[in-house]
């Protein structure tokens, strides 16, 4: 069974030479409007005014779909979160809010998350330069029409002081099973924190790590130019990518049997299990991804793993199956059936 690549956001369809380690690149700008109070002080009426003011500008841009509060129910919000198109804070926010998403699902503009605007652009693999060009292009168009809150002394004014200055967060999603298995991950975490970077979980700040996936992002936005933040992040990420590849080489040379056993066991469970939780499936697919990159698994593509890693998540699975009323056990059963069908390349006797 083959899955359409259109089932996942555009950035996850892009497989590059660095996709063995670097899943995706993201840059986010925090912006506020100078003619409105910050959201901690803004009334519901003013929050609605912010949405309307921003909508009037963004609707002039092509290829954006707007989702308003009335469409953002719990399942759909988590569907977007699982696709990395909104933040956990946006999901939990009680503000009047909305989000614009482009047709390729590479650009999202959250309105009234923590700041009036959270603009983010995502790209596949290690593509920070391309993402930086694109986000500046979109930001420049918005700035021509919207009065950004800006200070000559502090730069862009934001609700949280840690976002002052450029308001720019540069982050990458990395797959680091080699560093986990060689017990080197703690060293990487300490080193990155000591030089002003954060290592976060699968959905960013405050979220847990699953499947050896980590987000690395700059910690400070003030006192540096955008280009400097970008260059520093690129240098660090390149070092981490090389470090991960060396760890994988070590595993192949010194623990080949153990690694192959771990990978084939994961494949065996994925192709035979009748029930799989979302977290278990992501962890097993992560091991399978490592097997593909080490050329132990040869008939499954990284794109297939990207697609499955999105579809096995709770909300995306229900959207894919067009049934939002599935119980937890039903989801576990259908998740396992979907994975079996895809990885075996053929249908099963039961429907999913």
| Domains of the chain, each with CATH number or no CATH | 5-245 (3.30.590.10), 256-344 (no CATH)
Does residue 347 have a pLDDT over 70? no
- Report whether 21 contacts 245 (CB < 8 A): yes
Rounded distance between C-alpha atoms, residue 127 and residue 308, angstroms: 22
* Whole-number average pLDDT of the chain: 93
CA distances to 9, 100, 328 from 56, in Å: 25, 12, 41
Q: What is the mean pLDDT of residues 198-205?
A: 75
pLDDT tens digits for range 329-345: 999 999 999 999 999 87
Confidence label for 63 from pLDDT (cuts 50, 70 and 90)? confident
- Token readout for 60 is 């002039």
CA distances to 34, 40, 203, 243 from 88, in Å: 25, 18, 7, 30
Q: What is the mean pLDDT of residues 11-28?
A: 96
Question: Residue written as tokens 């912006």?
Answer: 31
pLDDT tens digits for range 98-110: 999 999 999 999 9
Q: Give bridge partners of residue 108 from the DSSP assignment.
A: 101, 120
Does residue 349 have a pLDDT over 50? no
């Amino acid at each position: 069974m083959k899955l359409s690549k259109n089932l996942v956001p555009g950035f996850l369809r892009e497989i590059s030479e660095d996709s063995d380690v670097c899943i995706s690149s993201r840059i986010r700008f925090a912006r506020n409007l100078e003619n409105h109070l910050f959201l901690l002080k803004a009334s519901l009426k003013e929050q609605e005014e912010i949405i309307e003011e921003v909508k009037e500008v963004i609707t002039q841009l092509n290829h954006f779909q707007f989702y308003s509060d009335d469409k953002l129910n719990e399942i759909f919000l988590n569907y977007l979160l699982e696709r990395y198109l909104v933040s956990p804070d946006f999901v939990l926010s009680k503000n009047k809010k909305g989000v614009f998403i482009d047709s390729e699902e590479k650009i999202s503009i959250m309105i009234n998350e923590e700041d009036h605007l959270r603009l983010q652009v995502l790209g596949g693999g290690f593509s920070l330069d391309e993402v930086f060009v694109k986000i500046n292009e979109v930001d420049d168009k918005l700035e021509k029409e919207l009065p950004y809150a800006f200070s000559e002394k502090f730069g862009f004014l934001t609700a949280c002081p840690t976002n002052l200055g450029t308001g720019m967060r540069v982050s990458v999603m990395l797959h680091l099973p080699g560093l986990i298995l060689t017990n080197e991950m703690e060293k990487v975490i300490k080193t990155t924190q000591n030089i002003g970077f954060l290592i976060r979980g699968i959905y960013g700040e405050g979220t847990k790590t699953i499947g050896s996936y980590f987000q690395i992002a700059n910690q400070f936005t003030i006192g540096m130019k955008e280009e400097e933040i970008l260059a520093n992040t690129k240098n660090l990420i390149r070092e981490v990518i090389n470090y991960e590849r060396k760890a994988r080489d070590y595993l192949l040379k010194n623990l080949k049997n153990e690694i192959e056993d771990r990978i084939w066991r994961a494949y065996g469970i994925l192709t035979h299990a009748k029930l799989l939780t979302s977290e278990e499936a992501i962890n097993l697919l992560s091991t399978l991804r490592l097997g593909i990159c080490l050329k132990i698994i040869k008939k499954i593509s990284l794109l297939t793993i990207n697609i499955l890693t999105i579809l096995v998540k709770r909300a995306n699975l229900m959207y894919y199956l067009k049934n939002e009323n599935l119980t937890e056990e039903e989801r576990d059963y259908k998740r396992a059936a979907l994975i079996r069908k895809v990885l075996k390349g053929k249908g099963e006797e039961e429907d999913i």
